[in-house]
Structure 1
Amino acid sequence: MNLYDGTTDPRHHLSNFKRQIYLADASDATRCKAFRTTLTKSAMTWFDNLTPSSVASFDDLVRKVLTRFSIQKDKVKHAPNLLGVKQEVGKSFKDYMERFNKACLEIQDLLTKAIIMGLVNGLREGPFFKSISKRHPTSLNNVQKRAEKYINMEENARLREPNWRLGNPH
């Protein structure tokens, strides 16, 4: 288990800790003492500065951790966040698709229409943009198949470049 330094969402760390300590069937006091061993840096400093006997139970400790480190809570992302993902000039279509897919994973309950709209919105002019503009996809499976086709075309074209064959990737 990774140590918690206070710079990330405390809910993730608490969830991991609870899962592991559950297997040990530990008492409330043991959970409180064991939790300290999962802290480092500012989180450990905070824990060490708690007033003695100020924690009544493990649930109380959890509340204190969440209160103290709540500023680090992951920000909820929504479909409009996809509109900020753009295919950058000089970057490959594959790079764009990887970044776009990663952005999609960060959004809960994302509708297929929103994914397709965000994808099209972020595309630069090019072969895939022209293809998708002519025949708008209706399913994610269709988008994936078409994207893979254009990624392969892009990579094959790059392999044919003289500089690439000479060992110079640029």
Structure 2
Amino acid sequence: LSDKKQVQIGKYVAVIVMILAIAWSTQGGRFNSIFEAINKIAAALAPPIATVFLFGVFSKRGTKEASIITLIFGFILGISAFAADFIPSLYGNPSIITDTWGTPFMMQAWWLFCICSVVYFIVSYLTPKPSAAQLQYTWDNPWQFLTDKEFKGVQDVRLYAGLLLVLLIILYIIFQ
């Protein structure tokens, strides 16, 4: 697509997203808190994205077809699971997955990730392997980002990532 066409599509998508956000804003009172609403929505939408990102970087067998199908299938499944919990609550009924089946929304996200992972690899193995040019964008091993380049001291982003990790561990221990 040309730059002009991409900008045009971006404008249309922005308008649609704004309309959906306005319509959705009226539903905020249906949740116990805004944080619950944000987390439930993220739990429904994030697993297919995480699957495609994770395996797109680390798997040499992943294909673009698998990515597209995983995203579409995962979004449909995630939105369906969200709707199965949200729609009954509109009528004062217990949500199907969370209340009736006893599966919290974070576990729903985990299972959606697992299902998306299976879909990703099945489609990857049913489609032609990626070309050598495409494989240059995957890592040879998960630790390659740490060992690939020489350490540059305070200018190295890996130092700050490590400090952030240590800080998060300390905060986890403190607030556990």
- Higher relative helix content: 2
* TM-score, normalising length: structure 2: 0.23
* TM-score, normalising length: structure 1: 0.24
Q: Which protein has greater RCO, CA pairs closer than 8 Å, 6+ apart?
A: 2
